[in-house]
Amino acid sequence: MTELDVLEQELLKPSDALVADMAKIEGDIIILGVGGKMGPSMAKLARKAIDMAGIDKRVIGISRFSEAGTREELEVEGIETISADLLDEDQLASLPDAPNILYLAGTKFGTTGKEPFTWAMNSYLPGRVAERYKNSRIVAFSTGNVYPFVSINSGGLSEEVTPAPVGEYGQSCLGRERVFQYFSERYQIPTLIYRLNYAIDLRYGVMLEIAKSVMADKPIDLTTGNVNVIWQGDANEIAIRSLLHCDVPANILNVTGPETLSVKWLAEQFGLLLDKKPQFVNEIQPIALLNNASKAHKLFGYPRVTVRQMIEMTVAWLQAGGKTINKPTHFQERKGQF
């Protein structure tokens, strides 16, 4: 393993707080939609925390597993896997029971032009899942895209702000939230709505996209000049620990880092490390999609991995020729078209 691999493995270890909380979470954990960007690392983190806590608990990952190798990668780590299309009623009904559900299923990229499928995945399916798992507690992933744009000087929007999503992706995600909220009260399902933006990993994310542009002398669009980010490992920890904070009515939680980051500043930091002069186009607009996650920080503490660490690791990863995933965040999108 390279020095960078060792560092990444160190950062992927469960915190003492996660291990302690895992011992309090009663029963097995099912991750629906485990094959996406965050699912595999979340499943592995949960498995490690269970082992470190010295308890007996299953982690079951469910997905269509359309990406080759993901299922085998999980099974090697001791995670049970089931291949299923959640939109197929019979397959959904045949899934095992578990007291704890981490709901990561959904669709975002390529949704423009496939609006009916987007609404089926993001708004219809949650109702079917809530009916199927009405005796469980559910952490349901959502997105900061349910919020309206806000002044870049505002500090971001907190959970009590009324959603007003731009575009059908954000609207369908609000539909997901409302459906889970409805069934939470109907069946008394302890639920937490997990509004995330944007998770950072060495293989994808806002920082990687900016760093790659700097490295390739590609102009960076400053129209959306400010963003929130959080290290994926920290986001995964918060998701798992949120199983202890599900409630009726559904609890709502913004999840991101504490900073409102300047895209221009990030590019300049990458430029210093890469010995490149970043190129910019367009003027920074006075509003952006920004979240205030102070509620999450009160519950779980500040993220362990800092912005400077993420910047330095991203550069080291790129310079080492590390593998990247071609799944852009489209954080610059301002019309909700993904």
pTM of the model: 0.95
214, 220 contact by CB (below 8 A): yes
Q: Encode pLDDT of 212-256 as tens digits.
A: 999 999 999 999 999 999 999 999 999 999 999 999 999 999 999
pLDDT value at residue 278:
98
255, 296 contact by CB (below 8 A): yes
176, 122 contact by CB (below 8 A): yes
Most confident of 98-112, 171-185, 312-326: 171-185
Amino acid at 285: Q
Positive or negative torsion for Cα 284, 286, 291, 294 = positive
| pLDDT interval class at 275 (50, 70, 90) | very high
Q: Encode pLDDT of 133-155 as tens digits.
A: 999 999 999 999 999 999 999 99
Q: In the chain, count H helices and then E strands.
A: 13, 15
Positive or negative torsion for Cα 37, 15, 177, 160 = negative
DSSP 8-state symbol, 77: T
Instruction: Give the range among 19-23, 124-128, 129-133, 317-321 with minimum mean pLDDT.
Output: 317-321
Q: Encode pLDDT of 97-108 as tens digits.
A: 999 999 999 987
pLDDT value at residue 6:
76
Q: Which pair of tokens denotes residue 290?
A: 């920004």
Instruction: Give the range among 4-8, 168-172, 209-213 with minimum mean pLDDT.
Output: 4-8
